[in-house]
Structure formats: structure tokens, C-alpha cells
Amino acid sequence: MKKIILLLLLMAVTPLLNAVRSQCVVKNVIVQVNYSNSNPTNDSCTINFDFIFTIENNGGNKWIYIHSWLANEYPNYFKCPNVPSNAKAPVAGDLVLSKINLGIHNEIHVGHPVPTLLTTYPPDVTVPINQANSLVRQVYPTGDSARFTVKGVTIKIPKACSDVISMKADFWSSQAQNASVVHCVVCNVGFTIDPRVSGLINCGMNNEPRTFNMQIRSVAPFSISGQYSVYMDYAYDGMFGTFGDEDVMVYSNTYATTVVPGTNPLVNLFAVSNVGYPPYNSQIPDANRNLWVLVTTNGYTNKALGYMYNSCAPLPIKLQDFHVRLQSDVVNLSWVAEQQGTFDGYEIQRKAGNGSYEKIAFVPASANIHATNGLVTYNYIDRMIPENTDLFYRLRAIEMNGQSFYSDIHAVAIKSKLVLTVYPNPSRGITYLMLSEQNGAMDVSLDDFSGKTIRKWNNVAVQNLELRNLLPGIYMVRIYLRSTGEQYITKFVVQ
């Protein structure tokens, strides 16, 4: 009887062990080709690219390894989807044909504060590790996933650079430094090193709004098609140049390449010129940002990425220190601007609640001027304010030649009937929480739709909170007023 029970237990545990070995989840693979060089003497291609992927934590993933082969040489070493419970790390004999071998030390502690790329492969030090320039990890606010960007990976492929290079990769992780135990595995992750994306930002004359020229170039002998989206590059952890959820989409459209007959090497290209992305291309500081281009291609499992540097001289920052304050039963607007003789004035626009912006006043450049060190101070008092609503204000600065740009948006809560306002809602990148200054001390928590608290602020006294790096989904904000014990809940959506 005991033998039967042990046998039943073993039968029950075995599938669980197999499942544990296959729970790694990798998604959102992106390839950004930096350059490629052909070697005609041996018909090979050296490629440098950035490799981006998202991986679920699955217990930590302290040590992450990536092996990749040409698609037609993929060996399925881990025998997916039925990964053995006693799976071992691949060694040199198993990786003879692999073109990419990368290792990441992802364990964070006092002596190792950020993830790092490995220079040797612990399971077998004879396995060569590919060169790469740097590594950036962006942890999602939910804490269950992280996006890794491995910058400057260099590989050598025994194919011409004019060939479509399709690859398949295995990702696996271990909790041990020597990788003696394979913790989880994901196999057969396909990606294509195509197309190449490039472009430039047009500066224009006389501070005209920015536009961009962009090319999607494929080495495929047939037309490819899909969609491209343009994003403004916002800093992540104080650094620019890493694509992530903090970047805001400003333009999107479909594309289809055209194969030019009789060209050698083959020209298979989609190109656009002088594309604007209002209102961002004419407002400060957005007009001075670099741009990302993210390309989704039909039939490809991964996305391609390109970067457009903004080498234009910065548009002049004409507005400084724009403030909007609720004072008793009026709203006081004040701003500081550079003194300019070619300036017409400022149109004050206001929006109530979810309504549209409307012009409520115009302040000429010659009015209410108190110049100090070339700067001019302006004031306007809005006395006609509705009750029990939220008001949003912006300035439209107008040049004498008719050109204009908008200021940042500022908001106030009237009569504090709404102790909290979330905008924009829905959001595509950055979300702001506007808290009435009359609330007093409060506790604020941010929950995902399952009710899990992902951020919390205690004894808050500030009026505005900025939320970045939220995954698409539905979120709830809970406000607890310490002075009255009242609780308020509001919902918003991140697209």
C-alpha cells in the first residue's frame, strides 16, 4: 500500500516539476539594428544591435541566460514544450551552432545594486560570451516583470547582410551562481533582424514646428507591411536613450515597403518626409526631444526600433514659471517670459471638467509688464469660475507672424468637492493626480484592478503626484483624509 501511495505521489509531482521548468515568460521582443558590415571573403555579416525583451520575475531570475541560433539550425536543446524535470544547463558541445550567448546577473543586493552582463558562462567557461556595451533594466510598477535592454550586442552570421536573418532563442534562469539547477525555461522565441529603421528631425526656419523624415528599409525580396508609431524619448531614471513605457506616443500610421526592380543591392523601402506631430512639435520642451520609431511588421514575431536624434537648436523657451493658484473665490494665473519685440501676446484658455478648451482672455505683450533682467512678469485673475468642478488652464503664446505654441497644462479643484482629479484619463504614458490643497494631510494608494496595492504615499501634503511606467490596464486611486476620516476612490485607464 505504501508503495502505491509513493507511486501516486511521484506521478502527481512529476508534471508539476515539468511545469516549473517551463514557467518562464518572455514577451515583447524588440530589435534595434545599429549597423551591419559584410565580409565578402567568407560571405558573412557582422551585426550590432540592441536586444530588448520583457521577462516575468518567476521567483527572482537571479541569473538569466540567452542562447540563440539561426532558425534553421535551432536544436530545441530543452525539448520544449516537455522540458525534463532534471534539465541541465547547455555546455559547449550543445552550443556549437549558437550565434548569441548572453548572461545577466539579475540579483540585487547592497554589493550588487544594478543588474550586470556576465563576461563568462558559469556552466562552461569555454563557451564564448557575446560582446555587448551595456544593460538597462526597467522594472514594471507591478513588480512582476522587467524589461531588459542589452545595448550593442555584436554577432557574426555566416550569411550575407542582404539576407533576411531569422533566429530562434532559448531563455532560461537559475537561482544559483554556478547555474547547477535550471529554474525555468522558455524556448523557441523567434525574432528577425529586419527591418532597419532610420530617420531625422527637420529643424525648419524661424522656429517652425519640427517635422521628421523616416525610412523603413528591408532586406526581404518582397514588400513588407505593418504599422509604425513614433514616441518622444523621456528620461528613465535620469537617462535618455532607452525605450520604455515612460516614452509618449505622438504619431502612428501604417506602412508598406516598395521593392525597386533591377536594383543591386536590392532596394526595398518605405519613406515619409516632413511629417508633423502636433502639438508636441511646437511646444517646449517636447519639440526639443529625440524620437523613437517602433515598427510592427506583419508576419514577424518581434518589433523593430529606430532612433531619431534631435540636432536642432532648442526652440526658445519663452515661458517660465507658469503658476495657477486658487485664492478664495478667484483663480490667479502668473507667468514669466522673455522680453521679445516680435511677440503679440498670450491667449488664456480654460477647460472645465471633461469639456473643451475655450479662450477666456487675451493678454497683450505690452500689458502688465514688469521687466527684470530681460524677463517679463504677467498676471491674470479669472473671476468667473464655476463651482464644484475642476478647471484646467493653458497659455497659447502667439508670435506677430501668427505662429504659436502652448504652455504646460495646470489644474485647480474648485470648492474641493472633488478631492482628487486624474488627468489625462485615459492616459498613454504619464498620469497626474491632482489633490486639492484643502484636503489637508492624506494617505494615497494606487491599486491595480485586482485590488493589489502597487504604490502608496502616507501623510501626503503635496497637491500633485506624477505616475510613470504604468502597464496598460485599469487602476484605482484611494484617498483617505486624516482630518475627517473620509475615503474617496476614483478609477483611471492606461492605454
**pLDDT at 346 (0 to 100):** 87
Rounded Cα–Cα distance for residues 138 and 244 (Å): 8
Q: How many CB atoms lie within 10 A of CB 235?
A: 14
* pLDDT tens digits for range 267-314: 999 999 999 999 888 876 788 889 999 999 999 999 999 999 888 766
Rounded Cα–Cα distance for residues 303 and 296 (Å): 5
Angle, vertex CA 363, rays to CA 203 and CA 314, nearest 5: 20
Band of residue 131 on the pLDDT scale cut at 50, 70, 90: confident
- Residue 154 φ/ψ region, left for φ over 0, alpha for ψ in the -120 to 50 degree band, beta for the rest: beta
User: Does domain 196-308 sit in CATH 2.60.40.10?
Assistant: yes
Angle, vertex CA 15, rays to CA 11 and CA 18, nearest 5: 135
Band of residue 488 on the pLDDT scale cut at 50, 70, 90: low
Q: What pTM was estimated for this model as a whole?
A: 0.62
**pLDDT at 462 (0 to 100):** 64
* pLDDT tens digits for range 399-418: 766 667 777 778 777 654 44
Band of residue 33 on the pLDDT scale cut at 50, 70, 90: very high
Rounded Cα–Cα distance for residues 329 and 391 (Å): 13
Task: Report whether pLDDT(20) > 60.
Answer: no
Residue 287 DSSP class:
G
Please check whether the two domains, 196-308 and 416-495, share a CATH topology: yes
Residue at grid coordinates 542582404: 162
Mean pLDDT of the chain: 82
Q: How many CB atoms lie within 10 A of CB 32?
A: 22
Which fold is adopted by the domain 316-414? Immunoglobulin-like (2.60.40)
Rounded Cα–Cα distance for residues 25 and 365 (Å): 58
Quote the cell numbers at residue 402: 501668427
* pLDDT tens digits for range 432-469: 777 766 667 788 888 877 677 888 888 876 667 778 88
Give domain 416-495's CATH superfamily. Answer: Macroglobulin (MG2) domain (2.60.40.1930)
Q: Is 296 helix (H, G, I), strand (E, B) or coil?
A: strand
Rounded Cα–Cα distance for residues 169 and 148 (Å): 15
* pLDDT tens digits for range 202-211: 987 766 889 9
Domains of the chain by residue range: 2-192, 196-308, 316-414, 416-495
Residue at grid coordinates 514669466: 336
